[in-house]
Amino acid sequence: MHYITKQRYIVALPTDEDILIQQLRDPKTRHTTFSEVVKAYSEPLYWHIRRMVLSHDDADDLLQNTFMKAWTGIDGFLGNAKVVTWLYRIATNETITFLNRPTTLSTDDMEACSAALEADPWFDGDALQVRLQAAIQTLPPKQRVVFNMKYFDDMRYEDMSAILGTSVGALKASYHLAVKKVASFFEDDI
């Protein structure tokens, strides 16, 4: 068993991915195992989503959608990826779908987002963090996902490739472009 320490509890998950998948597919162990998976991955998935949507309520809704889709899709999960990769893929797709909803953000909207972020009790950053988040929000959704996964999660390109279904080269290029756009956002302040 692999134990993941959380703030209030310890989550026990099998270290062998094949055993974990088997337990998720077995009707006798599915519910308990899925509950442990939810406990183990809720926090990292929440922050993965949250960094892209900024709003706690939106991130919480998207996290719930992620786990609902995972639960209803267990039988369709082929096991050709790790469970965590599968969950990140669902969360990322849910988030990109959410971000691609037709909206137009004006400068006033961006300022309102920054103000809401600063007032958010979950956010403990300073003015520079607010500016960074505002810069990230100007990126197209897929570029934002790549930037967040690499910059905040320090995820390997190979893992990102498995989650996003994109080549490593394309991900590197996307990250490079995102970094340039974020940097130019800060250069505009000078």
Residue 111 falls inside a structural domain: no
CATH of the domain at 50: 1.10.1740.10
Give residue 54's domain range.
1-102
Is there a contact between 125 and 50 (Cβ–Cβ < 8 Å)?
no
What is residue 71's three-state secondary structure? helix
Give the chain's domain count.
Answer: 1
Residue 19 falls inside a structural domain: yes
φ and ψ of 12, to 5 deg: -105, 115
Q: Is the dihedral of CA 174, 135, 155, 44 positive or negative?
A: negative
| Residue 62, burial from CB neighbour count under 10 angstroms (0-12, 13-18, 19+) | buried
Residue 91 falls inside a structural domain: yes
φ and ψ of 155, to 5 deg: -75, 145
Residue 182 falls inside a structural domain: no
| Residue 188, burial from CB neighbour count under 10 angstroms (0-12, 13-18, 19+) | exposed
The Cα-based distances of 25 to 1, 66, 79, 104 in angstroms read 18, 18, 10, 42
The pLDDT assigned to 32 comes to 93
The pLDDT assigned to 70 comes to 95
Q: Which residue has the tokens 């920054």?
A: 114
Residue 120 falls inside a structural domain: no
Residue 67 falls inside a structural domain: yes
Whole-prediction pTM: 0.73
Residue 3 falls inside a structural domain: yes
Residue 132 falls inside a structural domain: no
Per-residue pLDDT of the chain (190 residues; tens, 9 = 90+): 343 444 444 445 656 788 888 898 899 999 999 999 999 999 999 999 998 888 889 999 999 999 999 999 998 887 888 899 999 999 999 999 998 887 544 455 555 555 555 555 555 556 777 788 888 888 998 899 999 899 988 899 999 999 999 999 999 999 999 999 998 888 866 5
